[in-house]
Amino acid sequence: MAPPGGAPRLVLLFSGKRKSGKDFVTETLQSRLGANVCVVLRLSGPLKEQYAQEHGLDFQRLLDASTYKEAYRRDMIRWGEEKRQTDPGFFCKKIVEGVLQPIWLVSDTRRISDIQWFQKAYGAVTQTVRVVASEQSRQQRGWMFIPGVDDAESECGLDNFGSFDWVIENHGDEQCLENQLENLLEFIHTRL
């Protein structure tokens, strides 16, 4: 059975701790490649949308970095885990439906089952990218350890993944980050 969505030329699966800069990195790459070539996909999008529907919540407010979202984060994590236990690819399938761009950036890969689903569905065009930032850098961006969130699988599921295809260090040195993004962009252009 063919996977939903089009046939991508490259799928980059981004992972990293909260406030490591995953969204910043993926949005920067998309802005440089163009929305007609590259799409940012968020596994948390369909999760939050479905959660909001089932719980009578404001979906748009769950998408931003607000205290509203934080108030529901633990329960969303629990609820999402229940959905994944039934179907590990539930949210993966939802985000790729109807996607036509050749380059896919999945900005919030959190579990080995997410990586396995994309590798099985799209094979060799799938690459893993880990965005890392020091605890100090993350704190400067507003991160604070929250029990039940920062020690849950949604944050720690890929800590011992093994070897990522790419590691982007985002400790606050803009030139260092820029050099790494340029290297990744060069690689992406070889797939176009």
pLDDT tens digits, residue range 81-90? 888 889 989 8
Flag whether pLDDT at 126 surpasses 60: yes
Helices (H), 56-173: 59-63, 67-86, 90-96, 112-122, 135-140, 153-156
- Residues at the annotated binding site for ATP? 17-23, 141, 171, 180
Long-range contacts of 155-160 (CB under 8 A, 24+ apart): 155/17, 155/18, 155/110, 157/110, 157/111, 157/112, 158/15, 158/109, 158/110, 158/111, 158/112, 158/115, 158/130
State pTM to two decimals.
Answer: 0.89
- Residues at the annotated binding site for substrate? 170
- Residues at the annotated binding site? 17-23, 141, 170-171, 180
Average pLDDT value for residue range 169-173? 96
Average pLDDT value for residue range 168-180? 97
Q: What CATH superfamily classification does 10-43+95-190 receive?
A: P-loop containing nucleotide triphosphate hydrolases (3.40.50.300)
96 Cβ neighbours under 8 A, 6+ residues apart: 3, 4, 5, 41, 104, 121
